[in-house]
Amino acid sequence: MKKIVLLIAGFCLLMGIAMPQDNYPVVGISDVRPGIFALTGADVIMSYDSEPLKTDILIVKGRIEDIGKDIKFPDGTTVINLEGTTIYPSFIDIYTSYGVPQQRREAADPVARFAAQMQRGRPVQQEEPGIADYWNQGIHESYNVLTEFKPDDDKAGEFRKAGFGAVLTFRDDGIARGTSALVSLADNKANNVVLKDNASANYSFSSGSSTDSYPSAQFGAIALLRQFFIDSDWYGNLPEGYFYDASLEALKNNHSLPKIFEVQNKYEILRADAIGDEFGIRYIVKGGGDEYQLLDEIKKSGVSLIVPLVFPEAPDVKDPYEAAAIPLSELKHWEMAPANAGMVSEAGIEFALTTDQLSKPGDFTEKIRKAVEMGLDKKEALKALTYTPAKMLGAEKIVGSIAKGMVANLLVTSGDIFDKESVIYENWIQGKPYRFVDPNMDDIRGAYKLTAGEESYEVTIEGKPDKPSIKVKAGGKELKSAITFTNDLININIATDDGIITLSGAYYDGVMKGDGLLADGGKCKWISTEAVVKDEEKKEDEPGENVPAGKRGSRNRGQEGEAADRSGDNKSIGKVIYPFVAYGYEEKPEQEKLLFRNASVWTLDDKGRIEGADVLIENGKIISVGKDIQSAGARIIDATGMHLTPGIIDEHSHIASSSTNESSQAITSEVRMADIIDPSDNSIYRQLSGGVTAAHLLHGSANPVGGQSVIIKHRWGSPAVEMKVEGQVGFLKHALGENVKRSTNRYPNSRMGVEHIIRDAYQRAMDYRDEWKKYNAMSEKEKQSVIPPRRDLELEALVDVLEERSFITCHTYVQSEGVMLMRLAEDFGIKAHTFIHFNEAFKVADKIKDHGGAASVFSDWWNYKYEVYEGITYNAATLVGQGVLTCLHSDNAEMSRRLHQEAGKTVKYGGLDEIEALKLVTLNPAKILHLDHRMGSIEPGKDADLVLWTDNPLSIYTRVKMTLVDGRVYFDEEKDAKMKQEIDEERNRIIQKILKEGGAAQRPSAMTRRTF
Amino acid sequence: MKKIIYTISSLLLALNIVNAQVLPVVAPEQDNPVILAGGNIHTGTGEVIKGGDIAFKDGIITAVGSLDGLSDMADYERIDVSGKEIYPGLIFVNTTLGLVEISGVDVTVDSREYGQINPGARSAVAYNTDSHVIPVVRSNGILLAQVVPTGGILSGTSSIMQLDAWNWEDAIYKPDEGVHLNWPRISAPRGRRAMYARFMGGGSRSSYQENFKELTDLFMDAAAYAEIEKPEKTNQHLEAIKGLFDGSQTLYIHTSEAKGIIASVNFAREQGIKRIVLVGANEQAWMVKDFIKENNIPVILAHIHSMPDYEHSDVRMPYKLAKMFSDEGIVTGITYSNQAYGYNLPFVAGQTVPYGVDKEEALAMVTLNNAKILGIDKRTGSLEKGKDANIVVSDGDILDMLGNDVVLAFINGRFIDLDNKHKMLYRRFQEKYKR
């Protein structure tokens, strides 16, 4: 029987089997074979949710013709007895670029990504694409992968070996990547392997090979995608012959396709989902393998996932000094990543698995088995490799299970495919078998006693069953040796002290024997019989087990339980913390009812500061402030000798954001900080330790008009969307001076140009608003006869400023440009709302006051560039003295956590009184940010964002005891010390685990009996 | 360009405000002996003398304590400083003050030389006494600075300058006192830095070995060279570091790695270098504190107002290290990373107080300890008889911004004008708003 199987495999690979459809002209003599196979006697798992069933499968011309116990095989059927084997539907990977010419995979390679960022960071003027396609090269919606797809048998072979029968293939280049195809992995003509064209439309946040400088950052990519989808509405209403855009044209048709979005990490999953929600799209999101760190939110988002099995290598912890630098998050991720798929599954999120991000598809087998060992349910694993990916593409009637009429993609295995000991014998794809291991091959691995002539040796055979390796010992001494094993024939060489002995023979009936040549030229007989292993030795060899030599393989699955037991230690893993970095919380702090007793309370209202006062908070709000407050059930905090102040608000910050600058174009008002909040930035926690409770996250200062900012509260551990302060107004970042004119490849290059381009932008926005006003005033009938205006997100953000839904916040340094901006704003009927940095504001404080602007400045930074050569430490005090609404900001994650000290400096430089000084970092920023109705002072009804200090908050000698946001204690000195201890313990536990595992790997590898 | 602007602006200033210049005038030598009477004297040695007096003559402190009844001080000019705080002038170590004017404007930066091995690059000759930054920094009580070249492996030779002089020659307090060695990185960098290194194709272990070998060769040659009385061929590199072998110069080792500390100190010991200082002691240095202690190496702490080194670090680690090192008996000095904001030096010392350092000990970390580290503690760093009259008087606690208000300062007894560009610009525009 074995021979027959081999023969079939041979000719199939050469000739191919007739496909159901083919229009290829016959060249030479036609050679069409019957292509009818019956696979009999195997345990068949029809689909992920069915139990194994002993049944026969009839395959005709690549499809499953029939299934059953007593089905009739037509004449010409090759019957293959697969008794003792298990048959599964072949796997499907819906995230590959199989058969697509290599693209720049910058997303996957961090170095390439870094290089691309460096490159793209340099702004240049946008150029026209030159063809009738979308203006930005990151958009390739009209691309279809079948214009380039060519079957690649080498690559297909790797996938087939790992158990895959079909893959979705797409070109991973750009933000809109065009459409994909579902193809089989058979070695056949492209025409024959395509199972489904336009199987999905694919997207990402990465510009890929685009040479446009826009977008240079993720929020730019999001903005571009948003504009692209909006453009499709406009495009759909255009009369014929008016404007053609290949990508927008393609988008019309692609709307109905499944949409796959590639992201790098858990937060980006939510970002992809958010942009999907705006346009009613439900994405299938290909994640980065860290989904377990944010399961609740991902589940809530409703996305389906494609999950890679990418497990980081253990960090090198052999050197304690170097190990000290390895972050907790990296150690924990190393430990938990293999459990990711299991946790995703348990959370009830629909997911498919992919080989993506593995260095080669061949690594998949080991990874999936590891995932199963770490808790992924086997049924769920099979579902994620068969049914789910097929269903995601609407291809579940073609592939993903074994049923009549479906493509004959079958896996023949030695048993439970997710068991470590199992092997894949064959992978049938479109009715063609690909054989990897002979199901009847002997496994000779094990321990033997070998006698050759007078001498005897201890022999251990290990490695792969078809490529074994050998170790030989004599008298306790290891001897150099080699083995080859082909179809039961054995050749062994052993280097003894006298010379090399060569042995040849065969394996049968559990014994190896044959003839040999001794070192002295003498002939000998040799035989090896299985060694008897003593109990003691077994124990020493933990975790492996030294078993007697392999007998002819019996296909039992008795090893399963033992395998699981052995790895019992590895399965216990730490807990997920939120966010997934050191000082993340397992549980979010409770909103408490708290009574602060006998503090020096800096109310910052008209009372200023009250000595020996109490403050009661409940449900996140301040309830009462005064002397001798009584309240039942409140936790009392004795604040005697301490100071209680409102939480510090950092008016200018760049923490907690994945992007800072969309540095490409001069006007990028369309980008939004809110799109890319990064709640895992540990600056948030560090700033809580300095009393900061809120921050205004701004776009950088690379452009005259940057992006829309967002205000967050330091709700450490919350997802991005919950960090945003509710009901905030908008702010739009503007920038003047050196930073924006530095890019010589882009307009502007001087302060003249800066004024000019901002003026132009607002003028365009005015005209845009008028255009829409005019259109909206039309009757429905009139509207029919005109082309509707195109929505432009860049201009809409400026219209928001014109209509005071959003406000100018402008990076300014020298007095001339500050005055310029005021006049420019006035020309458009608006205000230069907030001047940021403005080191020379003290020179024009009167003008700012008259204009009604506010200033957000450094306390004492100056002199780091030419435009701050005249910055002075007395700036803030001068502004306050002239009645300008002023605050201090950090613009720096480190300085932010001691903004209270910066406020203290205004007492020194310019003599502000202490109440006014503290207002510079509390009430005044709240006012500037239009949040003073709920933040910035201690008054009943306001948010319980409070800081308890050991000393005067303006003094260098103070320390934060406790920081609350919304009445939750997010920082507490004692709790912090306890967390630090737990962090150290957790790090040590994982480092020990890595060391132990590393140690185990250096011992002789464990020998187990395989079942073949 | 700059010159023209400031010439014009100085003209305008002269027109508008009486007595205002771009820079204050350099103080003349002390002519009359002075007694500062009735202040709280923080000697820098841990002691506080309440309501004490301090006398100095010809630039030297002649008496500290209660001077009632000392008849030989009749000719002293008496300045009443009762209720005020008296301190030793603060010492700003490891700074580019005077070498860097505007860090973002390349042509105003004179702190870094081309190449890796530049021991002979001397900071003193590039020190710009007319820097607008110096008087601003000085106004908060900083009177001396160790001016240090940066970059490369051997950055150059530092000198200690006093902060009120017409020219660099006049500013020298101790010339060419130390050589600065940036110990090559041993461990592979991590994170974004690693990415950058890989992108640039560097960051490998082999480059460390090469650098190590180069340093070994250089120092061995220098030790041999130092023994030749009159070399046939003068070698500037070897000449520049020969003072390390007889202890006339200090080797300042800059490293942020625990392994780097061990490797570099062992290296320096093996080369027979007498005086060694570790610059940039951080959380990694703390891991090898016993080694530092055993080798009796003084440390200058890494910048205190910085983020903790690691994700899992104690969030306030940079504030706590001063207490930790000093409790080990290691001589601990404090500096400030940025020359232009050097006026914050007293405050970073104060920053250690809520984390356990005694106030007078914190003061010592920017005065006497720094003097010890620089090897000038016999001349300055504390208020003791016989030392240079480098004295600061503040209205309140100099280490706290709520107290720091320096009203008088003396360098070698010279009465320093505490005006500066910030104050001048402040006054100038207060004039505008008065109208």
A–B: how many Cβ contacts below 8 A?
156
Q: Mind listing the domains of chain A with CATH numbers?
A: 1-90+400-441 (2.30.40.10), 91-397 (3.20.20.140), 446-551 (2.40.128.120), 579-646+937-974 (2.30.40.10), 648-935 (3.20.20.140)
Contact B312 A908 (CB under 8 A): no
- Give the model's pLDDT for residue B204: 54
Contact A908 B402 (CB under 8 A): yes
Do B25-87 and B90-380 agree at the fold level? Answer: no
Residue of A nearest to B357 (CA): A957
CA distance A533 to B138: 82
Contacts of A932 (CB under 8 A, 6+ apart): A923, A926
Amino acid at B314: D
Residue of A nearest to B403 (CA): A908
Residues in A touching B355 (Cβ below 8 Å): 959
Contact B403, B397 (CB under 8 A): yes
Reply yes or no on whether the pLDDT at B145 is more than 60.
yes
Place of tokens 């992924």: A376
Give the mean model confidence (pLDDT) for residues B148-160.
Answer: 97
Every domain of chain B and the residues it spans? 25-87, 90-380
Q: What stretch of H or E contains A705?
A: strand A705-708
Contact B354 A950 (CB under 8 A): yes
Low-confidence residues of chain A: pLDDT under 70: 1-21, 103-123, 531-571, 999-1012
Burial class of A523 by CB neighbour count within 10 A (0 to 12, 13 to 18, 19+): exposed
Which residues in chain B (240-299) have CB-CB distances under 8 A to chain A?
257-259, 283-284, 287-288
Place of tokens 């023994």: B227
Place of tokens 């082999």: B206
pTM, whole model, 2 decimals?
Answer: 0.90
CA distance B141 to chain A (A): 14
**Residue A1011, CA distances (Å) to A366, A442, A551, A562 in order:** 17, 9, 9, 14
Which residues in chain B (181-220) have CB-CB distances under 8 A to chain A?
187, 190, 192, 195-196, 198-199
Q: What angle do CA B321, A320, B268 make, to 5 degrees?
A: 70
CA distance A158 to A86: 21
How far is the first Cα of chain A from the last one, in angstroms, to the nearest whole number? 16
B90-380: CATH architecture? Alpha-Beta Barrel (3.20)
Contact A251, A232 (CB under 8 A): yes
Signed CA dihedral, A627, A630, A634, A637: sign only: positive
Contact B312 A860 (CB under 8 A): no
Amino acid at A12: C
Interface membership of A881 toward B (CB under 8 Å): yes
Q: Is A871 left (phi over 0), alpha (psi -120 to 50) or beta?
A: beta
- Give the model's pLDDT for residue B305: 97
Contact B402 A846 (CB under 8 A): no
Reply yes or no on whether the pLDDT at B2 is more than 80.
no
Q: Beta-carbon neighbour count of residue A988 at 10 Å?
A: 12
Q: What is the mean pLDDT of chain B?
A: 92
Query: How many CA within 13 A on the CB side of residue A775?
Result: 15
**A578 DSSP assignment:** B
Which residues in chain A (681-710) have CB-CB distances under 8 A to chain B?
682-683, 685-686, 689
Q: What angle do CA A266, A267, A270 make, to 5 degrees?
A: 100
Reply yes or no on whether the pLDDT at B5 is more than 70.
no
Residue B353 has its nearest CB partner, among A878, A908, A957, at: A957
Which residues in chain B (109-138) have CB-CB distances under 8 A to chain A?
132-133
Write phi, then psi, for B370 (nearest 5 degrees). Answer: -65, -35
Cα B345 to chain centroid, rounded: 9
Interface membership of A329 toward B (CB under 8 Å): yes
Contact A583 B399 (CB under 8 A): no
Contacts of B226 (CB under 8 A, 6+ apart): B238, B242, B245, B246
SS3 A148: coil
In terms of Cα–Cα distance, which of A569, A801, A580, A788 is closest to A670? A801
**Residue B193, CA distances (Å) to A111, A146, B203 in order:** 11, 41, 9
CA distance A617 to chain B (A): 27
Which residues in chain B (83-102) have CB-CB distances under 8 A to chain A?
101-102
Cis peptide before A439 (omega within 30 of 0): no
Contact B199 A118 (CB under 8 A): yes
**Strand A194-204 with A176-184, pairing:** antiparallel
Contact A374, A339 (CB under 8 A): yes
**Strand A284-286 with A635-638, pairing:** unpaired
In terms of Cα–Cα distance, which of B434, B435, B425, B419 is closest to B12? B425
In terms of Cα–Cα distance, which of A539, A522, A516, A510 is closest to A449? A510
Contact A290, A357 (CB under 8 A): no
Residue of B nearest to A960 (CA): B354
Residue of B nearest to A982 (CA): B312
Residues in B touching A321 (Cβ below 8 Å): 187, 257-259, 284, 287-288
In our burial notation (b when 16+ CB lie closer than 10 A, e otherwise), range A166-194 reads: bbbbbbbbbbbbbbbbbbbbbbbeeebbb
Residues in A touching B103 (Cβ below 8 Å): 863-865
Q: What is the pLDDT of residues A520-558, one digit of tens each?
A: 888 888 888 876 654 444 444 433 333 333 333 333 333
Residue A864 has its nearest CB partner, among B103, B287, B353, at: B103
CATH of B25-87, one of 3.40.50.300, 2.30.40.10, 3.40.50.1110, 3.40.30.10: 2.30.40.10
Contact B278, B297 (CB under 8 A): yes
Q: Write the secondary structure of chain B as one string of H (helix), E (strand) and C (coil).
A: CHHHHHHHHHHHHHHHCCCCCCCCCCCCCCCCCEEEEEEEEECCCCCEEEEEEEEEECCEEEEEECCCCCHHHCCCEEEECCCCEEEECEEEEEECECCECCCCCHHHECCECCCCECCCCECHHHCCCCCCHHHHHHCCCEEEEEECCECCCEEEEEEEEECCCCCHHHHEEEEEEEEEEECCCCCCCCHHHHHHHHHHCCCCHHHHHHHHHHHHHHHHHHHHHHHCCCCCCCCHHHHHHHHHCCCCCEEEEECCCHHHHHHHHHHHHHCCCCEEEEEEECHHHHHCHHHHHHCCCCEEECCCCCCCCCCCCCCCHHHHHHHHHHHCCCCEECCCCCCCCHHHHHHHHHCCHHHCCCHHHHHHCCCHHHHHHHCCCCCCCCCCCCCECCEEEECCCCCCCCCCCEEEEEECCEECCCCCHHHHHHHHHHHHHHC
Interface membership of A892 toward B (CB under 8 Å): no
Contact B401 A901 (CB under 8 A): yes
- Give the model's pLDDT for residue B74: 84
Residue A956 has its nearest CB partner, among B196, B258, B400, at: B400
Write phi, then psi, for A344 (nearest 5 degrees). Answer: -60, -45
Contact A410, A39 (CB under 8 A): yes
CA distance B61 to B34: 9
Residue A893, beta-bridge partner list: none
Residue A956 has its nearest CB partner, among B312, B315, B347, at: B347
